[in-house]
Amino acid sequence: MKTRRRGSNRHLWFCAAPAMTLFAAFWLLPMLRLVGVGASGPSGAMAYLAVLSNRHYLDSLVSTLLLSLTVTLVTLAIAAVVGLFLQRNRFPGKSLLMAMLTFPLAFPGVVVGFMVIMLAGRQGLIGALTDKLFGQSLVFAYSLAGLFLGYVYFSIPRVILTVMAAAEKLDPSLEEAARSLGANGLRVFADVVLPALTPALISSGAICFATSMGAFGTAFTLATKIDVLPMAIYNEFTSYANFSMAAALSIVLGLITWLALALARSLSGSSVPAAA
Amino acid sequence: MKRASRNALQFYLLLLLTLLVCAFLIVPVLLSMLAGVTENFFVGLSSGFTLRWVMAVWETYEPTIWRSIVIALACLVVTALVGVPLAYMLARYRGGNSRLARLLEELLMMPVAVPGLATALALIMAYGQYRAFRGSLLFILVGHVLFTLPFMVRPVLAVMQSSQLALLEEAAASLGAGYWQRFCGVVIPNAMPGILAGALMVTTLSIGEFNITWMLHTPLTMTLPVGLADSYASMRLEVGSAYTLIFLFMIIPLLIAMQWVTQTTQARVRL
């Protein structure tokens, strides 16, 4: 019996071998190498602290963090309300609405950037409308505000889906109980619904935060001079050929996003995937 | 009575918000679709419809479209060949509840959790000196496989965990089926809904991948999203729009198929 089990485990290792080899050769080893390259510049391993000590990188880091946090909070607020509403109400045209809300899920960052240009760019809708109404066209696509709009655009469909899936599992009798005890709608929402949705909000918020920190396509489409960390890494690498600094910064960025996701997972329970 | 009217008011306010959010997401898509077939978008629709811009995109960027399709299909083949056996191992190793299996799953997720920029830089630093590899489509394929592999493994693993695989396999083994026979005759057919969901996911993600590809590409290995970025930066709005239109028409069938698979198999597909 014992030998048979060992035999079947060996067979399982054989199944995992191709994927593990691929992963080790093309991700794990290159990543270790990248850590080494990051410490190979003139300042050695101190390069990893440059994010904090160098004014320019610190500014990029702070504006990226602030941008990602704002995007996360705004997205969560909007998507929680809309997701709950969609889960709880039936009305004609709902499935069409759902299809439209989830359509942008598959857009890459570059396309999202282009959508922002369509809305708030030089020939955009907002510009045309404000020009008609106030005689002056409002154009903000090519700045941090445009990036904010893009990341919210990108994140809303994901969070709506997560909220809907979580709201589906809510026990309606809890809310009825709260209501029968005299709680009004707002109290029920704050004390019963929101706590039940919290794990889903934390996990989808973390994914939203991590993508906003590391995404690059949207910023790239809007303007290469937007000062966020991924753009700073890109410029170090291509414009200044400062490979060690680019490596150090991307390791720091990777650590931040990984930590955010890991933290969210431990807060919201192990059933939540690392990223979705 | 008062309460009913308040509920109705609340309903319509929330509906309005939902419609606004929907408009925010869809109006730019429609505008860009329109711009792609309008003679001059700045003048407006009155300038007339044309397929000129779509033709222009086809002339300039045709190779990027084929390249993206080839890479997506190759990526699908590799992730299926490598990912399905891995999912099987994760589902079966020590009864599917070992710390090691969870650690492996976690590791596999890293290329998704860490920004694509970092993965791409790591690949360039480690393999950039092999010129032939660096300049080939294979280099981009490697990046795509790393990024999409978890999206194949996870739905397959989920299906395997929920179907009583161990029991079924034991039944097959008691009837004399060997490993290979059991894998092909029991494991694969049972995991099919997961494989299908994963396959659609992998293809869609690979066609749209930009963050890794942008750093890995050379002028001769430009993919569709890289071409899109290029056209947004250097071409007129109508050309960028027409190119986006082509991209949308490529992913719409995939999205519809994904919807269909989720509905018919109840397998959870998530982007």
Q: Does the distance separating the beta carbons of B15 and A158 come in below 8 Å?
A: no
Cβ neighbourhood burial of A95 (10 Å; 0-12, 13-18, 19+): exposed
DSSP string, chain A: -HHHHHHHHHHHHHHHHHHHHHHIIIIIHHHHHHHHHHT-STTGGGGGGHHHHSHHHHHHHHHHHHHHHHHHHHHHHHHHHHHHHHHH---TTHHHHHHHHHGGGG--HHHHHHHHHHHHSTT-HHHHHHHHHHSS----TTSHHHHHHHHHHHHHHHHHHHHHHHHHT--HHHHHHHHHTT--HHHHIIIIIHHHHHHHHHHHHHHHHHHHHH--HHHHHH-TT---HHHHHHHHHHTS--HHHHHHHHHHHHHHHHHHHHHHHHHH-TTS-S--
Determine whether the interchain pair A106/B254 forms a contact, defined as Cβ–Cβ distance below 8 Å.
yes
For chains A and B, CB pairs below 8 A equal 233
C-alpha torsion angle, residues A109, A115, A116, A122 (rounded to 10):
130
Residue A71 has pLDDT above 90, yes or no: yes
Residue A232 pLDDT > 70, yes or no?
yes
- Encode pLDDT of B63-93 as tens digits: 999 999 999 999 999 999 999 999 999 988 8
Tens of pLDDT, residue by residue over B142-169, are 999 999 999 999 999 988 888 888 888 8
Quick one: average pLDDT of A81-89? 91
Does residue A2 carry a pLDDT above 70? no
Determine the length of chain A.
276
Q: Evaluate if residue B193 carries a pLDDT over 50.
A: yes
pTM: 0.88
- Percentage of chain A beyond pLDDT 70 is 94
Residue B117 and residue A18: Cβ atoms within 8 Å? Answer: no
Q: What is the pLDDT of residues A96-121, one digit of tens each?
A: 898 888 888 889 999 999 999 999 98
Q: Are A77 and A83 in contact (CB under 8 A)?
A: no
B156 near B195, Cβ under 8 Å? yes
Structure confidence at residue A19 as a pLDDT band (50, 70, 90): very high
Of B217, B141, B142, which Cα lies nearest the Cα of A27? B142
pLDDT of residue B16: 94
Contact (CB<8Å) A115/B29:
yes
Query: By the CB < 8 Å criterion, does A19 face chain B?
Result: yes
Contact B149, B90 (CB under 8 A): no
What's the pLDDT tens digit per position in B236-268? 888 999 999 999 999 989 988 888 887 776 544
DSSP character at residue B51: S
pLDDT confidence of residue B3: 65
